[in-house]
Amino acid sequence: MTKIAHAHRLRAASALVAALLLAALMALVGCSGQSSSGDGAASGSAEGVGIHHATLNVEGYDPITIELDGDAAPQTVENFMNLAREGYYDGKTFYRIEDGFCLQGGTLGNNAAGNDPELETIRGEFSSNGIDNPLADNFDRGVVAMARTSMPDSASSTFFVTLGNASQVGPSLDGQYAAFGTIDDAGMAVIDQIVTDHVAYADGANMGAISDEANQPVIKSITITD
């Protein structure tokens, strides 16, 4: 082999090695980067993934267990867990009861107009927003989900529990709201009692809003148990 041919082979081998190293580096950058929801809230953390449980304590009632489905809605579950651990929900109320539809609360000001500028909004994890969430495609009685405005990525702290069955709540909720948990029959019996005790204060002409805070069920705490 001539010296010229040998030099050509060395240059070709060096170029191949450099190309392989560049490709590997680009692959690492792509795998490690975190995506953004577009509203300032980061996603991609594994904190909310998997099944978790929370205990909802409403003043004057037995504790209610919420099973959090982080496989269906990991960012929503992570956000809910973080707020609960920080004590954000302590003292908040349920300000809306729409009989046969939902019990809603957990927001600053304890009313539907409440807004907390200190909280980041999260990505709406539901199919109409381009995210696969099987739980959000099949709303039924005892599903826990995030409330939001007309903007899909506007949820922050407010959540609701569905009171009706699939035929009652599904048509207006399926694929439109980030469902992230469920409450079993024992817990729903407590929810039903809360509704029974407070529904008389709800304004049916105003989407079930309870205008007098003194008549709103109080959330003592939400504790993450696992």
Residues 19-43 have pLDDT tens digits of 333 333 222 222 222 223 333 333 4
159 and 202 inside one domain = yes
What are residue 53's DSSP bridge partners?
67
- Nearest to residue 173, comparing CAs of 222, 207, 215, 137? 137
Same-domain pairing of 9 and 55: no
The burial of 70, by beta-carbon neighbours within 10 Å (0-12 exposed, 13-18 middle, 19 or more buried), is given as buried
pLDDT of residue 112: 73
What confidence category does residue 117 fall into, taking pLDDT thresholds of 50, 70 and 90? confident
> What gap in Å lies between CA 88 and CA 112, rounded to an integer?
17
As a whole number, the mean pLDDT across the chain is 84
Residue 52 pLDDT > 60, yes or no? yes
Q: Where are the alpha helices (DSSP H) in the chain?
A: 3-32, 74-85, 166-173, 185-198
Do 18 and 68 sit in the same domain of this protein? no
Supply angle C-alpha 215, 203, 142, rounded to 5: 75
User: Within this chain, do residues 24 and 128 fall inside the same structural domain, yes or no?
Assistant: no
Residue 137 belongs to domain spanning = 51-224
Query: What pLDDT shows up at residue 145?
Result: 98
What dihedral do alpha carbons 66, 89, 196, 165 form, nearest 10°?
A: -40
* Between 8 and 142, the higher pLDDT residue: 142
Q: Tell me: do 107 and 7 sit in the same domain.
A: no
Which band of pLDDT confidence, cut at 50, 70 and 90, is reported for residue 118?
Answer: confident
Residues 118 and 219 in one domain: yes
Give the separation between CA 147 and CA 11, rounded to whole angstroms: 62
Q: What is the mean pLDDT of residues 44-58?
A: 87
- Whether 108 and 156 map to the same domain: the answer is yes
User: At 97, is the secondary structure helix, strand, or coil?
Assistant: strand
Residue 40 lies in a domain: no
Mean pLDDT over residues 155-183, rounded?
98
Residue 191: CB atoms within 10 Å: 22
Q: What is the pTM of this model?
A: 0.80
- Does 21 share its domain with 64? no
13 and 66 within one domain = no
Q: How many CB atoms lie within 10 A of CB 87?
A: 11
Please indicate, yes or no, whether residues 23 and 115 belong to a single structural domain of this protein: no
How many structural domains is the chain composed of? 2
Query: Are 199 and 105 within one domain?
Result: yes
Q: How far, in Å, are 6, 22, 138 from residue 14 at the CA level? A: 12, 12, 56
136-157 residue pLDDT tens: 999 999 999 999 999 999 999 9
Is residue 17 domain-shared with residue 56, that is, in the same domain?
no
In a domain, 142, yes or no: yes
Q: Is the pLDDT of residue 219 over 90?
A: yes
What are the residues whose beta carbons fall under 8 Å from the beta carbon of 21, sequence distance 6 or more? none
Range with lowest mean pLDDT among 8-17, 67-76, 119-128, 146-155:
8-17
Q: What is the mean pLDDT of residues 187-207?
A: 97
pLDDT at residue 115 greater than cutoff 80: no
Q: Which two tokens stand for residue 224?
A: 């993450």
Q: Is residue 46 part of a domain?
A: no
Is residue 42, in this structure, part of any structural domain at all?
no
* SS3 state at 58: strand
More confident: 104 or 1: 104
43 is a domain residue: no
Compute the distance between CA of residue 179 and CA of residue 73 in angstroms, rounded to an integer: 7
Helix ranges restricted to H, 60-219: 74-85, 166-173, 185-198
What CATH number corresponds to the domain at position 121? 2.40.100.10
